[in-house]
Structure 1
């Protein structure tokens, strides 16, 4: 389904993120995190607006510890952008949608 926010886990990380043929935006969050809840509508808008051109998902850091630990996620919300299996950008905290659009623009996603 185009425009939906996926759930990333330690188990599906490689197939969903590292092996993706399109850029991937990953929102690292936790249910108790207030700023994470503030960022959620922005993440959903990006998924709706960019549809199949970008894969957008969230990873609950309380339920998945291996991947965030390996990526040096020390504060949430942290959003990582991947292209070709490599991290190409990192946005920490609550950022406006334009910051995400700027990053995607640099990756050739319009």
Structure 2
């Protein structure tokens, strides 16, 4: 079975994103956003391109206030916004619509930089 995009909500955040053993790209979107709707079919194809190297999830901001609070806590001010999360930390961001080729290139660049970023920082645990 080929990988596919998983729809999650704020209650799933820790299990699906923060505890994931593979890097996760999170698409923060909503159905009233024209750019989000344009990105959706492109984003849905990404799991096939990246295979098991990356997990792809989506959070619908209009689904609940908890989802909106999660987005605000991550500094999201517009949609679509993609966050790359690795080992429980946000290590990259893509804001706005991108065509497939450009989006794939940007995700590849973020994946290349993630090891360097994670190796040169200490996670805060309060």
TM-score (normalised: structure 2): 0.78
Q: Does 2:113 align with 1:106? A: yes
Looking at structure 2, the residues matched to 25 and 32 of structure 1 have their Cα atoms a distance apart, in angstroms, of 21
Alignment RMSD, CA only? 1.5
Matching of residues 30-45 of structure 1 within 5 Å: 30-45=30-45
Question: How far apart, in 1, do the equivalents of 2:72 and 2:23 lie?
Answer: 21
Deviation >4 Å, runs of 4+? none
Shift of 1:65: 1.6
Higher RCO (CA-CA < 8 Å; seq separation 6+): 1
* Greater C-alpha Rg: 2
* Structure (1 or 2) with the greater helix fraction: 2
Provide the TM-score with structure 1 as the length reference.
Answer: 0.89
- How many residues align structurally? 108
CA distance in 1 between counterparts of 2:41 and 2:107 reads 13
Is the contact between residue 2 and residue 52 of structure 1 (CA under 8 Å) also seen in structure 2?
no
Unpaired segments of 5 or more residues in structure 2? Answer: 116-126
